[in-house]
Amino acid sequence: MRLSEYFLPLLRENPSEAQIVSHRLMLRAGMIRQSSAGIYSWLPLGLRVLKKIERIVREEQDRAGALEILMPTVQPAELWRESGRYDDYGKEMLRIRDRHDREMLYGPTNEEQVTEIVRASIKSYRDLPRMLYHIQWKFRDEVRPRFGVMRGREFLMKDAYSFDLDAAGAKRSYNKMFVAYLRTFARLGLKAIPMRADTGPIGGELSHEFVILAETGESAVYCDRAWLSTDILATEVDYHGDLEPIFQRWTGLYAATDEKHEPDSCPVPREELVEARGIEVGHIFYFGDKYSQPMGALVIGPDGETAALEMGSYGIGVSRLVGALIEANHDGAGIIWPESVAPFRIGLINLRPGDTRCRDTADDLYGKLLGANVEVLYDDRDESPGAKFATMDLIGLPDQLVIGPRGIAGGTIEVKHRRSGERQDVSIETALRLLTASEPGPLAASAPGTKARRPGRARSEGGRKGPRSGKLQDGERPIPDPA
């Protein structure tokens, strides 16, 4: 994409309404614009990131055996009366009346809706287990929206629902999602730690929240130091096998939110305990027949007996993750995207568009990168060099290629790695090889969080890896050290 043809409305100064760094950077980098309190429009750059996250979430859900559906945003109040939540939910629920004066609501979640779908169609244990998910906009009329997309009223969420015959089956489904979540966040370049959680308004008995560590997190969390050096993607996963050992392994490592942490009875010795800030990005629940019972979602078991479905629900805050990723990946100059979610893989800067040699070289390189399926944002604008550098640093693309008269004279261009700040003058051929090869290049080796980059795969991978029943590849995403 040529920047001269792109829509990237940058802000040079911090908008006064934005307090936290991710909110400020998202506004400044032209990713979002606020529509009203807690409601945002997504501009091209922000939308690209949102879609990348969505794709990874989708791939891991599919891999775990969940099936994608799409349920409506507007739901009938009637359904929620069946579960009893219409009155329980309170003012957080946005209630609407249609022209026939029928009571509707903009869904804050979809347990009732999905239960209604399943109860109408699944009558036998032979049709179980099933997991359904969708990625859809939700609305919760927060009293006080804040932190930009991290705590908006309208937000994009992946919510999955599992249906099993009995508690043992439900636990197996729970484990699948538990593992899928670990993998999803790891691929996003985040260290997400599952913590035992209260079930809140969803209800139920077993629940974990997934919290990522970020200096600017909203709540204090405590965990075993061992968490920092774990690599979840190194664990082989067979979703058809027994996942309980993996579940046990990852829940065995100490981790607790502020409310649950007891300094006096903490099993981890002081020197091994990490105190950090956390942001909740996912939450999973097992709640049995809380909805299936009142709503009559029943199946006949092998013994001929009728039983209410055992259910669980599993949420990931997709839009919140955009903010959370920035909280965990930024510096004074701007955003630093992990490669897996970067809106573009490479920022190509032509410092002197007026110069024929610079322009020809840049145009040529741009064409070759596109030809190699590398997502590249090409700054071909007639701007001062400083402005171009600042722009690229702000929007945080993983690598920058700088073409200017100084280098061209010596036959080189500059490659700059955004995260480390490391720069190298290399030949054009070398640059191309570095950025399109499947093997890690020299720069990558010294740069944290990029050791296994495979830049050329961005498009080609595209979610078509065939059936996801088998083993998983290792090291799809390295995990940057959050400390």
Q: Which residues bind RNA (CB under 7 A)?
A: 10-17, 19, 28, 34, 36-38, 91, 140, 142-147, 149-153, 155, 157, 198, 200-202, 209, 218-219, 280-283, 315-317, 319-320, 333, 351-352, 354, 383-387, 389-391, 393-394, 402-408, 414, 416, 423
In angstroms, the CA 251 to CA 228 distance is 15
**Toward RNA, which CB reaches closer, 131 or 322?**
322
What's the min distance (Å) between Cβ of 392 and RNA? Answer: 7
In angstroms, the CA 400 to CA 72 distance is 41
Structure tokens at 469: 């029943």
In angstroms, the CA 308 to CA 291 distance is 9
What's the min distance (Å) between Cβ of 357 and RNA? Answer: 11
**Toward RNA, which CB reaches closer, 216 or 251?**
216
**Toward RNA, which CB reaches closer, 304 or 386?**
386
What's the min distance (Å) between Cβ of 166 and RNA? Answer: 25
Nearest to 159 by CA among 136, 181, 139: 136
129 cis-preceded (ω within 30 degrees of 0): yes
Q: How far is CA 1 from CA 6, 204, 232, in A?
A: 7, 48, 34
What's the min distance (Å) between Cβ of 234 and RNA? Answer: 25
Cβ–Cβ under 8 Å, residues 45 and 30: yes
Residue 267 exposed, middle or buried by CB count within 10 Å (0-12, 13-18, 19+): exposed
The torsion angle over the Cα atoms of residues 213, 216, 221 and 222, rounded to 10 degrees, is 70
Q: Which residues contact 169 (CB under 8 A, 6 or more apart)?
A: 128, 129, 310
User: Nearest 5°: phi and psi at 22?
Assistant: -65, -40
Q: How far is CA 334 from CA 8, 50, 92, 146, 399, in A?
A: 15, 18, 34, 20, 14
What's the min distance (Å) between Cβ of 218 and RNA? Answer: 6
In angstroms, the CA 40 to CA 49 distance is 15
What's the min distance (Å) between Cβ of 100 and RNA? Answer: 26
What's the min distance (Å) between Cβ of 142 and RNA? Answer: 6
What's the min distance (Å) between Cβ of 323 and RNA? Answer: 9
Cβ–Cβ under 8 Å, residues 186 and 477: yes
Beta strands in 230-309 (DSSP E): 255-257, 273-288, 298-300, 306-308
What's the min distance (Å) between Cβ of 411 and RNA? Answer: 11
**Toward RNA, which CB reaches closer, 299 or 408?**
408
What's the min distance (Å) between Cβ of 431 and RNA? Answer: 12
Structure tokens at 175: 């484990």
Cβ–Cβ under 8 Å, residues 207 and 196: yes
**Toward RNA, which CB reaches closer, 92 or 275?**
92
Structure tokens at 99: 């022209």
**Toward RNA, which CB reaches closer, 143 or 445?**
143
In angstroms, the CA 266 to CA 275 distance is 12
